[in-house]
Amino acid sequence: MNVRFPLPFAALVLLGLVGCASAPRPGTAMPSDAEVVTGTAAQGPSDGPAVPAPTDPAPAPVVDAPVEGDATATADLPVSEAEDDYAALYGDASATAGTDPAAAAYDPWEPMNRRIHAFNNVVDRGVARPLARAYVAVVPQPVRLGVTNFFDNLGSPLTMVNQLLQGRPRDAVQTLGRFVVNSTLGIGGVFDPASDLKMKRRSEDFGQTLGTWGWRRSRYVELPFFGPRTLRDVFGLAGDYPLSATRQVDDDTVRYGLQGLQLVDTRAQLLSIDSLREGAADDYVLVRDAWLQRRNYQIQMDLRRTRDDELPDYLRDEDERDPMVPAGAMPIPGG
């Protein structure tokens, strides 16, 4: 049977189908009136010059916020070989970074020390320095080197005893061998064939030994004639004096002559720093800090000598000379 739909009803159905087809899908955003639709010239005429569509600014680089555990994680990283080599010689950089060398000086007796320092400077300018300059001007350099070698060799037995007290028998044996070689082949120590045989020069005293035994921090004191020391090194002088080689000489004239020559030789080795001291804003602070740093370095090296064989060749310490007034160099009547 033929069913005929009225024309108006058919038109309504057709309009409904067209409306459903043109409706947006759920979830699809409709373009807003503010959006700019770009096109080409072929898409339609334009009343003015083309305006480029605005672009979003480039995003800022993301910087990670510092994490509280980063420092701990960095500290837990394995130490490189170069860092280990540095620490073996100079100590842990993290422990000394940012410290003030002047603040590290333990000098509660500074007023008294400054007065003694001024006295020592008067004696130095009036006696010691002129004698040292005359000695350098008159005595040829090879002869002066022989004198220095001679007194270095005389100090070898004292160095050997302190090396044994520090628990370093291997270094003590080497020092003994050096003393024997220089005393025989070196004609009483005037020449230094032991250095050509790779036998290193060491200089040890009882003050360093006390430092390796645990007396690290000690108050600074300046002694008349002897110069910079610490309280620990004053006790060290008392321990070194009976073992001094020049003290074993019975003839007073010979002993005083040797002691005087040793003092002049020691002062001559320090002439090179006179210009530095003259230009210093505070000569006392310069001498004190330089001496304390040198002394602390010597003690730290004594503590690390047991690792000397583990260090690379380029970090091993060279031969040592210690231009400090020895215990036996000061002429003492009846000594």
pLDDT tens track for 216-273: 999 999 999 999 999 999 999 999 999 999 989 999 999 999 999 999 999 999 999 9
Pick the range with the lowest mean pLDDT from 69-78, 108-117, 131-140, 192-201.
69-78
> What's the confidence (pLDDT) of residue 46?
46
> What's the confidence (pLDDT) of residue 101?
44
Query: What mean pLDDT, rounded, does the chain reach?
Result: 77
Q: How many residues does the chain have?
A: 335
pLDDT band of residue 155 (cuts 50, 70, 90) is very high
d(CA 257, CA 163): 29
> What's the confidence (pLDDT) of residue 304?
86
What is the distance of C-alpha 320 from the center of its chain? 18
Indicate yes or no: pTM above 0.85. Answer: no
- Give DSSP secondary structure letters for 63-101: -PPPPTTHHHHHHTSPPPHHHHHHHHHH--HHHHTT--H
Q: Token pair for residue 60? A: 């800022």
What is the distance of C-alpha 85 from the center of its chain? 12
For residue 212, how many other CB atoms are within 10 A of its CB? 20
> Which stretches of 185-251 are DSSP H helices?
193-196, 206-212, 231-240
Alpha-carbon distances, residue 196 vs 29, 199, 311 (angstroms):
91, 7, 21
d(CA 319, CA 121): 30
Question: In 3D, which of 171, 211, 206 has the Cα closest to residue 319?
Answer: 171
Percent of the chain with pLDDT over 70: 60
> What's the confidence (pLDDT) of residue 269?
94
pLDDT tens track for 159-199: 999 999 999 999 999 999 999 999 999 999 999 999 999 99
d(CA 83, CA 255): 49
Q: CA 114, 119, 121, 124: dihedral to nearest 10 degrees?
A: -150
Question: In 3D, which of 83, 87, 104 has the Cα closest to residue 304?
Answer: 87
275-296: buried (b, 16+ CB within 10 Å) or exposed (e) per residue? eeeeeeeebbbebbbbbbeebb
> What's the confidence (pLDDT) of residue 100?
43
- Comparing 321 with 190, the larger pLDDT belongs to 190
Question: Counting runs of H as helices and runs of E as strands, what totals does the chain give?
Answer: 16, 2
